[in-house]
A = this chain, B = another copy of it.
């Protein structure tokens, strides 16, 4: 039976993706129930959870702009205009992200951004929020979600016409979809984990390093990075193997931690007064890539964001891609509504299964592409970003971009500073490289030929 013109929509998860999606779907006028396992962040309790700051770039900003939230969020962002490379020995090296120094990715606090999105969703009269309810399972055919109260342990079954799972990399909704015949799925962990550390503001305030940069300590096969926070601190993240000579499991005692950092990250140690305590206290977490499909079950259930395509953090695109999901879903929903048959003042029922299928078709290849980009960029950041050849290559890309601004755009710029679909960005970058290499080969041949002619003239 097709849905009515005004189906009830349950969104599972009020993280970054779920909260923004609630704004999109709520603004379209549908009655929305938003279920979240954590407590209401507006109550003042800490949201907690994953890494503390994130890089917001063009795709994410575009999705926020469409619902009028970009300006407010940019007020709490710290722009990062390039990479600051910290070698083990020697001087810092700065690499701008773009030929245009105003182009920046923006360090934002996950908690502050999430709070803002939840407030925006809660303002809509047709969006109801249900905090402290953890989704433990789903009945795809009803459809319904099985909920468990975080404090009382009470169990509840909540029905809806449509369920949208925005419940993250370990999605319970996806867990149930995995048991549907012909659902493809993979989860692949990195051999590296991550641990967060802290650089506080200067005594009396102010940043202890350049604030408008993403700091990288590339050490081949592993690295540390740091992103600025508005109040003057930095959040550092170590991306190290779990085991082996530079593995997390090698450092046991406080003395070992301190000695290791003094040797490998010598310029960072004086900036980290709580290094050893932070290292010992903070958890080491794993990094995974999730790919699956299809993302929907009939016209009843859809997954998006990390639930559909969790990626590793090295291109800074996880949140941006999830926000782009919301944007694309919103556009397709608007189109479907515009096409829907209308009757007597009714806004018209739409074909939700076709909408979900179109969304999957539009996003799947892009989600797969950005997953690959993110895995590849880990190698670029940790192995290559410290090398002189890499810095020359980046300078050459910026030069081409300056000379031929309408034709040549580096891949990093396409990914971070444009809304070109990820798959198209990669295809364009490959084509550019192919043509540049061909021109260079012709030029080299012309030079060699010219030298030959000159030599012949001279020797004649």
Contact surface of A with B, Cβ cutoff 8 Å: 170, 178-179, 181-189, 242, 286
Contacts of A181 in B (CB 8 A): 189, 286
| B185 adjacent to A186 (CB under 8 Å) | yes
Copies in the complex: 2
| A185 adjacent to B182 (CB under 8 Å) | no
Contacts of A178 in B (CB 8 A): 187
| A182 adjacent to B189 (CB under 8 Å) | yes
Contacts of A188 in B (CB 8 A): 184, 186
| Cα separation A179 to B186 with both chains bound (whole Å) | 13
Contacts of A182 in B (CB 8 A): 189, 242, 286
Contacts of A179 in B (CB 8 A): 170
Contacts of A286 in B (CB 8 A): 181-182
4 residue pairs, one from A and one from B, having the closest CB atoms: A186-B186, A182-B189, A185-B187, A181-B286
**Can you list 10 contacts pairing A with B, beta carbon distance less than 8 Å?**
A170-B179, A181-B286, A182-B286, A183-B187, A184-B187, A185-B185, A185-B186, A186-B186, A186-B187, A186-B188
Contacts of A242 in B (CB 8 A): 182
CB distance from A194 to the nearest CB of B (A): 13
Contacts of A185 in B (CB 8 A): 185-187
CB distance from A384 to the nearest CB of B (A): 26
Contacts of A189 in B (CB 8 A): 181-184
CB distance from A371 to the nearest CB of B (A): 13
Known: A181-B286, A183-B189. 5 other contacts (CB 8 A): A178-B187, A181-B189, A184-B188, A185-B185, A186-B186
| Cα separation A184 to B170 with both chains bound (whole Å) | 13
Which chain B residue lies CB-closest to A190? B182
Contacts of A187 in B (CB 8 A): 178, 183-186
| Cα separation A242 to B170 with both chains bound (whole Å) | 30
| Cα separation A183 to B189 with both chains bound (whole Å) | 7
Which chain B residue lies CB-closest to A182? B189
CB distance from A311 to the nearest CB of B (A): 16
Which chain B residue lies CB-closest to A181? B286
Contacts of A184 in B (CB 8 A): 187-189
Contacts of A183 in B (CB 8 A): 187, 189
Contacts of A170 in B (CB 8 A): 179
| Cα separation A178 to B187 with both chains bound (whole Å) | 9
CB distance from A179 to the nearest CB of B (A): 8
| Cα separation A286 to B184 with both chains bound (whole Å) | 12
CB distance from A423 to the nearest CB of B (A): 20
| Cα separation A106 to B199 with both chains bound (whole Å) | 68
| Cα separation A181 to B242 with both chains bound (whole Å) | 12
| Cα separation A185 to B186 with both chains bound (whole Å) | 5
| Cα separation A106 to B12 with both chains bound (whole Å) | 52
| Cα separation A181 to B179 with both chains bound (whole Å) | 20
Which chain B residue lies CB-closest to A189? B182
